[in-house]
Amino acid sequence: MSHPSLSRRILFGLLAAPALLPGRGSAETLPEVTSIPDSLKGSGEIRVATFGGTMQEVQKRAYFEPFEKLSGIRVRDFAGSDITKIKAMVETGNVEWDLAQVSRGSVMNLQKRGDYFEKIDYDIIDAGVPAAFRFEYGLEMLVWAQVLAYRTDAFRGAVPKGWADFWDTKKFPGDRALLGAGSGNQPELEFALMAAGVPPEQVYPMDLDKAFASYTKIKRDVVKWWETGAVPVQLLTDREVVMTSVWNGRMAALQQAGVPAAVSWSQGLLKRDCWAIPKGSRNRAQAMKFIAYSTMAIPQARLSMLIPYGSVNDGANEYLSPARQEVLPSAPAIRSQLLTYNYDWWVENRDAVTARFNRWLLT
């Protein structure tokens, strides 16, 4: 019998509880920001586009709701952040979002084609945010990993530990899912190469012929090329696949709901999301104030306590227990197993790779 789908009632029940540590049965109280500088206060509203799902519900509790109370600026959050929508909004002059959760690569790639984002005002950003997370048209706001997830009841105790195991359909039989190239995503060529035996440190620059030859070996076993983060966890929950790539934070609610599933960190991709302000935002100043607030130490720690994504503020660790830090992708023991995603390579090669991937899917 398949496990029931994750309902919003289950999700809200998890979020209403104290911050839970997956697999540890303990809870922690979220730290509070009691006051903010006058420079971050204001009026009016901001319209924030997120990636939806568990992440959006966590963001409400971590920093949307506290910011609204402390600043006097209303936060209206929307699911479905999409770089192609931002491009259309800016080009038509109908900018519906003041702020969007996107990736550095998406911002850099779109800026190659025109002027689509406002510059970040770093004068008001907390000093605890290292230079590595800062760039002209965006500020990275969380660290996450794209990893292998599997049903623990599928392989009679055997545990897949990397992409060669994902590709091994004899040892680990069953349907799979992988990320496709729709909705601004990039196909997971890195995983295809590591499955073919390429060491992580030699993945970039990527050998496209070798990557697509590897993809061809697994193609018939991939029943879904997913585009949004909710899909792979639902596929696991409903037993439609036994293994899939997944955004690590999406697994927290699934595991807390009792679905027999786990993450294999080995050979995952270390990635980062950023805040970016679409060019022509009607509430640019308010959006900048929110960016500054959300990347302060305590709001960053609150997010990491609610969902296993790493912080971009060095001061956040002061508020995170050692046990919590151990399950974040930024933790040394996990970070050492991950390959850092090369945004620069993808900015230069994204269009050609996406076109080739779409042609390959049709063959």
Domain ranges of the chain: 16-143+272-330, 148-269+337-343
Q: Is the dihedral of CA 97, 7, 68, 143 positive or negative?
A: negative
Query: Is pLDDT at 66 greater than 70 in this prediction?
Result: yes
DSSP 8-class letter at 3: P
Per residue in 269-308, pLDDT (tens digit) is 999 999 999 999 999 999 999 999 999 999 999 999 999 9
Q: Residue 13, Cα to own-chain centre: how many angstroms? A: 22
pLDDT confidence of residue 332? 83
The amino acid at 92: T
* CA 329/CA 251 separation, integer angstroms: 13
Task: Give the CATH superfamily of 148-269+337-343.
Answer: Periplasmic binding protein-like II (3.40.190.10)
pLDDT confidence of residue 19? 54
Query: Is pLDDT at 7 greater than 70 in this prediction?
Result: no
pLDDT confidence of residue 330? 86
pLDDT more than 90, % of the chain: 84
Per residue in 139-195, pLDDT (tens digit) is 999 999 999 999 999 999 999 999 999 999 999 999 999 999 987 789 999 999 999
Same fold, 16-143+272-330 and 148-269+337-343: yes
* CA 69/CA 75 separation, integer angstroms: 10
Q: Is the dihedral of CA 311, 317, 318, 322 positive or negative?
A: positive
pLDDT confidence of residue 183? 79
Query: Is pLDDT at 25 greater than 50 in this prediction?
Result: no
Average pLDDT in the 225-242 region? Answer: 96
Mean pLDDT over each residue of the chain, to the nearest integer: 92
Domain 16-143+272-330 has CATH 3.40.190.10: yes
Contact in structure between 144 and 248 (CB atoms under 8 Å): yes
For tokens 């151990």, the residue is 326
* SS3 assignment, position 156: coil
* CA 336/CA 28 separation, integer angstroms: 26
Per residue in 81-136, pLDDT (tens digit) is 999 999 999 999 999 999 999 999 999 999 999 999 999 999 999 999 999 999 99
